[in-house]
């Protein structure tokens, strides 16, 4: 999806304290075997800080950096992949009440780890539909420190608590969103469902989130043949295709990419399933910094972008490719071009 005249005014983040894998091993949460297997270094843990409060703090930082008025926001999209608060309540209104105010449309986007990409697509379409200068606030937040999650043993990652925010406008900003796109391999939905029944939902009866057993079940079913046998091959093919399409819509080639941000997964997953298929080396990735933060659901790529423009590692003329994979199975990517140094950069 081409996104002409969609600019980034500012980004924001909330990162709690980091717990190293060495500390986790001492406390009995993690093992040296997993350190050797995944090569991860730590994870941010927020304790009892609620997800909506983390989202609010990330958004406040974005507005402070931008000089944009919160009350001028035309659209608020709140992204999450884990529970946010009381059932039957929606978290976007917490941010709206305490920061944005007004009567702008506010929507909760639940699209797993790729939710921020979906929010970028939705916001770009909404902003382009208006005649006057318009703006949107996108926030993502998750706190996995709940009884139904063992953050240390969910898969080839450690689940992190964090929040991110970005202000999009049709007015010029320091960076420009050139294109964003997604593609789905729906045959892979069993990969994250496993053998669990659809009803009653696991969270309502206290069932622990267990991706490992779901993945094992999927592999067993795939080995028996049928439509599941070539799902991973299709994911590989679709990863290449969605990146090529989005780069074409952005008007650049793979050689124009300065840095690439993926999910903060194990080195093996990032290198072999995401970067090698599209022909980019690990040296361009944000994995080294991401391995110390953990996998913060839909916030990984935006937090990486925020760090790079803050430190000046991404500067005018540079292009960043954001790439993610989530339940669905969905593969998403976005291309951002930095136009000027971020106003708050070091």
pLDDT band at 328 (very low <50, low <70, confident <90, very high): confident
Question: How far, CA to CA in Å, does 276 sit from each of 121, 283, 317?
Answer: 26, 12, 25
Token look-up 């009381």 returns 86
Global confidence as pTM? 0.95
The whole-number pLDDT of residue 223 equals 80
Q: What is the mean pLDDT of residues 328-342?
A: 96
Average pLDDT estimate for 98-104: 93
pLDDT bracket for residue 19 (50, 70, 90): very high
Whether residue 232 is predicted with pLDDT greater than 90 in this model: the reply is no
pLDDT, position 154: 92
Separation of alpha carbons 192 and 201, rounded Å: 14
Mean pLDDT of 61-85: 95
For residues 96 and 106, the answer to whether their CB atoms sit within 8 Å is yes
State what percent of residues in the chain have pLDDT above 70: 99
Q: Where in the chain is the domain with CATH 3.40.47.10?
A: 7-172, 179-338
Range 7-172: architecture per CATH: 3-Layer(aba) Sandwich (3.40)
14, 319, 310, 260 alpha-carbon torsion, rounded to 10°: 50
- pLDDT at residue 228 in the model: 74
**pLDDT band, very low/low/confident/very high, at 319 (cuts 50, 70, 90):** very high
pLDDT of 179 > 90? The answer is yes
Query: Can you tell me the distance from the alpha carbon of 164 to that of 58, in angstroms, rounded to the nearest whole number?
Result: 5
CATH class of 179-338: alpha beta
Give CA–CA dist 75/72, Å, rounded. 9
């Amino acid at each position: 999806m081409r996104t002409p005249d969609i600019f980034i005014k500012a980004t924001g983040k909330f990162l709690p304290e980091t717990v190293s894998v060495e500390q986790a091993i001492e406390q009995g949460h993690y093992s040296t075997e997993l350190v050797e297997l995944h090569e991860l270094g730590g994870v941010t843990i927020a304790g009892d800080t609620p997800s909506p409060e983390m989202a609010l703090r990330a958004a406040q930082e974005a507005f402070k950096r931008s000089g944009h008025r919160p009350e001028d926001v035309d659209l608020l999209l709140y992204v999450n992949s884990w529970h946010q608060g009381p059932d039957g309540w929606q978290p976007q209104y917490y941010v709206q009440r305490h920061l944005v105010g007004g009567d702008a449309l506010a929507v909760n986007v639940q699209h797993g780890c790729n939710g921020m990409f979906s929010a970028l697509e939705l916001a770009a379409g909404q902003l382009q539909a208006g005649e006057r200068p318009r703006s949107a606030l996108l926030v993502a937040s998750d706190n996995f420190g709940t009884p139904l999650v063992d953050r240390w043993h969910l898969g080839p990652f450690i689940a992190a608590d964090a929040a991110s925010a970005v202000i999009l406008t049709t007015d010029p900003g320091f960076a420009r969103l050139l294109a964003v796109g997604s593609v789905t391999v729906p045959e892979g939905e069993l990969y994250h469902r496993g053998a669990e029944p659809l009803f009653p939902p696991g969270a309502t009866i206290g069932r622990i989130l267990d991706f490992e057993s779901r993945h094992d079940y999927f592999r067993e079913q795939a080995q028996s043949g049928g439509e599941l046998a070539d799902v991973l091959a299709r994911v590989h093919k679709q990863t290449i295709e969605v990146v090529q399409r989005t780069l074409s819509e952005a008007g650049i080639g793979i050689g124009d990419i300065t840095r690439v941000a993926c999910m903060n997964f194990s080195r093996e997953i990032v290198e072999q399933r995401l970067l090698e298929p599209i022909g980019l080396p690990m040296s361009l990735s944000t994995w080294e910094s991401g391995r110390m933060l953990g996998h913060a659901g839909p916030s990984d790529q935006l937090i990486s972008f925020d760090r790079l423009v803050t430190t000046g590692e991404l500067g005018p003329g540079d292009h960043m490719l954001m790439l993610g994979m989530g339940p669905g199975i969905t593969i998403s990517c976005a291309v951002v071009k930095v136009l000027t140094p971020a106003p708050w950069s070091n």
